[in-house]
Amino acid sequence: MSYKILASTAAAALDKELMSTGGFSIFQLMELAGLSVAQAVYKCYPPETHPKVLVLAGPGNNGGDGLVAARHLKLFGYNPKVYYPKKSKGELFDGLQTQLKSFGVEFVGDGDEIRLEMQKTDQILDALFGFSFHPPIRAPFNEIVAIMSTTDKPVVSVDIPSGWDVDEGPTGEVENFLPEVLVSLTAPKPCAKLFKGRHFLGGRFVSDELAKKWDISIGKYEGVDQVVELERQT
């Protein structure tokens, strides 16, 4: 499927509209986004071949999407572990952590513990930073992104590969960070045009009316799928 991009300012405005006239809550949007990410992981790296998933969750909504995805991955038959060093505050994020603990999902600590897990895992889910990220990458995330840039483990990034400029793509300290899979949420952002791997669109919550208003393509989802694969860039 071909696609149209959505600038970061427009993406933020569309999110607000989804939660106002669209009638969605942030709880619903995050749940649907995380489910779509988990489905993309399943399609690319099933639990039979890549059972261990290390979920790297950042301090914002992108990290929340990762926490939701971790829960679904556990239910899909994976053994996820979560690295969540800068926890967001609030009922939503507290609840997501409680849910994970109730399903027996392990949280990973800093230092040698996270370094070891990045070596032991079968794949990495990058949910550190979204389209509102502004450089530089600060500790402890700078070391984590540096490891992701050189790892031989497949990396699936949520919405934006962490550290990428939303418009310019991989620059500066992340110029060598090229994940294998990208799951764009709502609509692909400008940097997606520079992504060469498998690319999915997720978040099946944009109506035809909103898609027309914002001039975006929402894709033809099959059956109960929450993701649709997009054309690779050449």
- Sequence ranges of the binding site: 61-65, 126, 130-136, 159, 162
Distance CA 213, CA 209 (A): 6
Residues 6 or more apart from 209 whose CB is under 8 A from it? none
Give the angle 34-211-189 at the CA atoms, nearest 5°. Answer: 60
Residue type at 17?
A: E
Residue with tokens 């894709």: 219
Q: At what angle do helices 26-44 and 61-75 cross, to 10 degrees?
A: 50
Residue 18 has phi, psi (to 5 degrees) of -60, -35
Tell me how far apart the alpha carbons of residues 145 and 141 are, in angstroms, rounded to a whole number.
6
Backbone torsion region of residue 163, taken as left when φ is above 0, otherwise alpha when ψ lies between -120 and 50, otherwise beta: left
Specify binding-site residues for (6S)-NADPHX: 61-65, 130-136, 159
Which amino acid is it at 30?
M
Binding positions for K(+): 62, 126, 162
